[in-house]
Amino acid sequence: MRQHQSICLLLCLWAMLGQGVSAQTTYQTPPQSIADLFNASPTPSVSFNKDGSMMLILERAGSPTIEDLAQPELRIAGIRINPAISGPSRASSFNNIKIKKTRSGEEIQIKGLPSNAKMSGFSLSQDEKYLAFANSEATGISLWVIDLTSFEAKKLTDPIVNQVFGNSIAWMSDNSLLVKSVNPSRGTIPKAPAAPVGPIVQETSGNAAPSRTYQDLLTNPYDEALFAYFMDSQLMKITIDGSKTPIGKPGLIKSMDISPDGNFLLVEAIQKPFSYLVPSDRFPYNVEIWKSNGELVKTIAEIPLDEVRPTGFDATVKGPRNINWRADKPATLYWAEAQDGGDPKVKVAERDMVFTLDAPFSGEKQKLAATSLRFGGINWSDDSFAILNERWFASRVEKKSVINPSNPSLAPRVIIDRSSDDIYTDPGEPVMTENEFGRNVLLRKGDLVYMTGDGGSPEGSMPFLSTFNTSTKEQKILWRSQAPYYERVTKVMNADATEFITLKESTDLQPNYWLVNTKKRIAPMQLTAFEHPYESLKGIQKQLVTYKRKDGLSLSSVVYTPEGYDSAKDRRLPVLMWAYPREYKSAADAAQVRGSKYTFTRLSWGSPIYWVTRGYAIMDQTEMPIVGEGDQEPNDFFIEQLVANAEAAIDHIVEMGVGDRNRIAVGGHSYGAFMTANLLSHTDIFAAGIARSGAYNRTLTPFGFQYEQRTYWESPEVYFNMSPFSFAHQVKTPILLIHGEADNNSGTFPIQSERYYNALKGHGATTRLVFLPHESHGYAGKESVLHTLWEMDTWLEKYVKNRK
């Protein structure tokens, strides 16, 4: 009874707390050593053609400006739209393209690219004579194509491409392009009503419809009209000379996929009614088969609104789902259907059934296989061999089985049955190659399937290339990364996997691509020479350390110290510990070492490693496992295990002679921010905390959060005890809160930081709240990121390095 009274008190206090005094400041810039690192030129992205003979090198500009982010934006139906272009408002893009011949090293600059290019959606034609891409302009998105003989680009269309939802460009077998364009007849954008015509009403008739918290949902009829307007699309066939032919009827098209033989289209189109409770990917939609000229062949499924779904990560929808083309057949569909009504609590022998339907789609669906867990896709090879994937989140079990598609009566033969958290026994994932249809299928030789994996081990990750014998379940390592490098296979070049391309890096070695041949026994050939972008980080020291929690559980962290630092001679350093908790169902799995000390020190906008240039020791990727084995749930032990993790990390950095116990900060982003607030609520072992874009009151996410599947009403004490808001009165350590004003992540509403700040302020805590205009869950604008780094640096200097 006392517990429930406390929860009621929590809700009342949350509602009663007033707004704090707010002020706006100008954007600030961090110290030069940090700013220079953030402003370093981005490394190009690389992709390869089918046989690996050609590299596509894509260059991008730096971060967008706050002016870019401040452009008009619609936040409706769970998506964010730039209304000026009928496309996504926050998509990344590239500004230059080069082609490089893999073996000769010849590098070719593409001519005729658009000025002020913002290119995306790159797609090679099946014969690899052309490369198509979309380019965002001021008034829309246009279609371009590059002739890979002349290496010249040309514009095929005006800005007609609709990229509001999903893929919009696909090559047809005759080297024409299927494009999802804006419906030419959609008219003008709906105008907002001068006044509402009435109240907004939602009603339920008693059917339970639990739903997680979502951002940017539809809220009124005007939102509905806007969503329908911007989704309104017409498929177009566009030839290399730019002529356009409408294909099929217009609609709210969410996806289109050409059959492997090019004769049919699989089209999904959203239908009404829309929902104010779930995002657009759960709106009703029809799945149709069209001929390539747009003639309707058959409606495969009419998928209803997905508002009412059982709770739990293993829950799914009723009826057909994941409808796709078989990669190894000219025109055969396959999909899964839940046999438990989508409810993981229902006990059944067969969770899902997989069905197929061959062209001309006039027959009955045929059962291909059944799964005991939830269906997770199929890796196709041919009509006698495929790998069926299934998984069950609650137990972390995943299975792979060999099936014979030509003889469905044969039971699947299990070849892998393991915990998805166990990285030491992870056999990797199959290597894929392109077949005659240009689709990805298994690279295999009889019973041998080629695999690549990260190679988890007590010494850290050591990626590998292997064969896996599906009859004997034996794995043979063909190649493995060797210290002091972290090297992984990115492209297998031949049928017996003796020649392949790797991405090789080390602590001070910028990742670059290499051509490796294990059969000819020749020295690997370097294919790219991207420069180290961080001159000031050369020479910093990095080590992967392991230590134990007080209950004996092994933990790890990656520790960085400044160049030349010697713990035996030099003064102890202030420390910034950065972490992100994770739940496990096995203590053995939780204790495994993750990551590698040989990876390149790559900085993202939110990295803590900037502060190694400011004289701090950094504990990055600090493991914070929360374990609940068997019937126990990890979050029943969240606080006690979280505190034990932090205490063990502090003890170790101090025992190393590196860290000053009285000058250690803790920080994290999203769930890491939640972790930080909890640590400061229940300990006094840190000098300061930094919490970015977190959720602090779990009663605002009552139908589950992170990996917690129970609802607030099933486990109110868990929600109360895990909420830092509940213990704001206990926080005595300075805490910096930063949040994107336009956060669209599920559960981390900006009000989470606002109300938590008010609670802290109301109890006299030392705290600061920073809202970043126009920023989402991850921060993108140059001014925003630099200001965030300034805020963090100022906080650390005041409350950690120079702590009195």
Rounded alpha-carbon distances, angstroms, from residue 392 to 340, 388, 420, 430: 14, 14, 9, 20
Strands 486-492 and 499-506 come out as antiparallel
Tell me if residue 743 is catalytic. yes
Q: How far is CA 47 from the centre of its chain?
A: 19
232, 589, 743, 793: the active-site residue: 743
Q: Where are the alpha helices (H) located in 218-303, listed in sequence order?
A: 221-231
- Of the candidates 565, 558, 557, the residue with the CA atom closest to the CA atom of residue 542: 558
Which residue matches tokens 């998105």?
141
Report whether 99 contacts 154 (CB < 8 A).
Answer: no
Tokens standing for 802? 């120079």
Name the E strands within 383-497: 385-392, 397-403, 413-419, 429-430, 432-434, 440-442, 444-445, 448-453, 464-469, 475-480, 486-492
| Closest to 414 (Cα-Cα) out of 460, 355, 446, 369 | 369
Question: Do residues 97 and 58 touch, judged by C-beta distance below 8 A?
Answer: yes
Q: Which of 633, 460, 640 is nearest to 558 (CA)?
A: 460
Q: DSSP states of 165-182 as a string?
A: SS--EEE-TTS-EEEEEE
Please say if 93 is a catalytic residue: no
What are phi and psi for residue 738, nearest 5 degrees?
-130, 140
Find where tokens 């992540």 sit: 745
Provide the greatest CA pair distance for the chain. 80
Active-site residue (options: 401, 461, 670, 776): 670
d(CA 525, CA 515): 5
Q: 3-state class of 647 per DSSP?
A: helix
> Count of residues for the chain?
804
Run of H or E residues at 545: strand 541-548
User: Which entry of 532, 729, 763, 777 is annotated as an active-site residue?
Assistant: 777
CA distance 440 to 50: 10
Mark whether 68 is an active-site residue. Answer: no
Tokens of 198: 């009435």
Measure the CA–CA gap between 549 and 664, rounded to whole angstroms.
18
Q: Which amino acid is at 596?
A: S
Could you give the residue numbers annotated as active site?
670, 743, 777
